[in-house]
C-alpha cells in the first residue's frame, strides 16, 4: 500500500523503476513555516466558529439537542484537530507537498488579474447586462493568458458570447 501511495503521489509519471524518463521536478517544497501558519489559522477559525455557534439566537430557548448543539460539536472537534495540527507542525518533519506544483512569479500576476477581471465582470453584468461585459471579459482573459492574435481574440470572444447566449437564452430558457 505504501508503494501505491508513493506511485499515486508521483506527478503522473511512470514508476521509479523506469530510468528512461528524467523530467524536472516542479513539486512545491515542504515548509514548516507554512504548516505552522495553516495550523494556527485553522485553530483560530475553529475558535471563531465555536464563538459564533454559541451565539446563535434561538427563538424558543435552548438546551439539550438544540440548533446550537451540532455546530458547537463540530467547532470543538475542529479545534481539537487544529490543536493536533499545531503540535505536529512544530514537532513532526514538514509534510511533503508533492501533490502541488511550485508557484511561478508570472503565475501570481496571471491569477490575481484573472480574479480581478472576474469580479469586475460580475459587477458589470449586474449593471449593464450580459453581452458587452462577456465580450470584453473573454477577450481580456485571452489576452491575459497570452493570446496575441487579433483574429483569435475577436472571433473567439464573439463566438463564445453568442454560443452561451444562444444556449441559455433560447435553448435552456434562462434569461441572461
Partner 1 sequence: MSALLDGVLAVFEPSVMLCLSIGVVVGMLVGMFPGITATMAVALASGFTMTLEPVQGLAVLLTIYVAANFGDRIPSILINTPGTPASIATTFDGYPMAKNGQAGLALIVSALVSAVGIVASMVLFAGAAVPLAQLALRFGPSEMFAVVVLAMTIMISISSKSITKGLLAGIIGLFIATIGRDPITGDARFTFGIRELNGGLDFIAVIIGLFGIAELLDQLLTHRNHEVKPISALGRWWPTKAEYKRIAKPTAISGLVGLVVGIIPGAGGDIAGLLGWDRAKAASSTKATFGKGNIEGVAAADTASSATLGGSLTTTMALGIPGDSVMAVMIGSMIVWGIQPGPSLFVNEPALVATITAIMVLATFITLAINLVRMPMMVKLLDMPKPYIWATVLVFCIVGTYATTNNLFTVWVMLFFGVVGLILKRCGIPAGPIVLGLILGPLAESNLRRSLLIDGPTGLIDKPISATLIGLAIIAVIAALGSPLLARRKAKRAKANPS
Residues 77-136 binding partner 1 (CB under 8 A) are 77-78, 81-82, 84-85, 88, 95-97, 99-104, 107-108, 110-111, 114-115, 118-119, 121-122, 125-126, 134
Stretch 45-64 residues interacting with partner 1 (CB under 8 A): 49, 52, 56-60
154 belongs to the binding site for partner 1 (CB under 8 A): no
**Residues linked to residue 97 through DSSP beta bridges, in sequence order:** 28
3-state SS, residue 103: coil
DSSP state of 114: H
* Closest distance of CB 138 from partner 1, Å: 6
**C-beta closer to partner 1: residue 90 or 108:** 108
The Cα–Cα gap between 116 and 126 comes to 16
Applying CB under 8 A, among 36, 120, 131, 160 the residue interacting with partner 1 is 160
Applying CB under 8 A, among 36, 120, 131, 156 the residue interacting with partner 1 is 156
Burial code (b: 16+ CB inside 10 Å, e: under 16) for 25-44 equals eebeeeeeeebbebbeebbe
Applying CB under 8 A, among 63, 91, 150, 175 the residue interacting with partner 1 is 175
* Closest distance of CB 154 from partner 1, Å: 13
Stretch 5-34 residues interacting with partner 1 (CB under 8 A): 5, 7-9, 12-15, 17-18, 20-21, 23, 26, 28, 34
* Closest distance of CB 57 from partner 1, Å: 7
Binding-site size, partner 1 (CB under 8 A): 84
Strands 97-101 and 27-28: antiparallel
Written as nine digits, the cell of 98 is: 508533492
* Closest distance of CB 161 from partner 1, Å: 8
Terminal Cα distance for the chain, rounded: 50
Give the ranges where 55-144 is alpha helix by DSSP (H): 69-91, 105-128, 131-144
**C-beta closer to partner 1: residue 126 or 150:** 126
Nearest to 135, CA basis, from 114, 163, 113, 175: 163
DSSP state of 97: E
Amino acid at each position: 500500500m505504501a508503494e501505491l501511495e508513493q506511485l499515486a503521489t508521483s506527478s503522473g509519471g511512470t514508476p521509479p523503476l523506469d530510468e528512461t524518463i528524467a523530467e524536472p521536478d516542479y513539486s512545491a517544497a515542504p515548509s514548516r513555516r507554512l504548516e505552522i501558519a495553516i495550523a494556527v489559522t485553522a485553530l483560530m477559525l475553529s475558535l471563531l466558529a465555536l464563538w459564533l455557534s454559541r451565539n446563535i439566537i434561538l427563538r424558543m430557548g435552548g438546551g439539550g439537542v438544540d440548533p446550537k448543539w451540532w455546530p458547537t460539536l463540530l467547532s470543538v472537534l475542529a479545534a481539537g484537530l487544529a490543536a493536533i495540527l499545531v503540535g505536529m507542525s512544530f514537532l513532526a518533519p514538514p509534510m511533503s507537498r508533492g501533490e502541488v506544483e511550485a508557484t511561478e512569479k508570472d503565475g501570481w500576476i496571471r491569477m490575481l488579474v484573472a480574479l480581478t477581471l472576474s469580479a469586475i465582470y460580475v459587477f458589470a453584468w449586474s449593471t449593464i447586462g450580459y453581452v458587452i461585459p462577456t465580450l470584453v471579459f473573454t477577450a481580456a482573459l485571452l489576452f491575459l493568458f497570452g493570446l496575441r492574435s487579433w483574429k483569435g481574440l475577436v472571433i473567439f470572444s464573439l463566438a463564445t458570447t453568442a454560443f452561451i447566449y444562444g444556449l441559455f437564452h433560447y435553448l435552456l430558457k434562462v434569461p441572461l
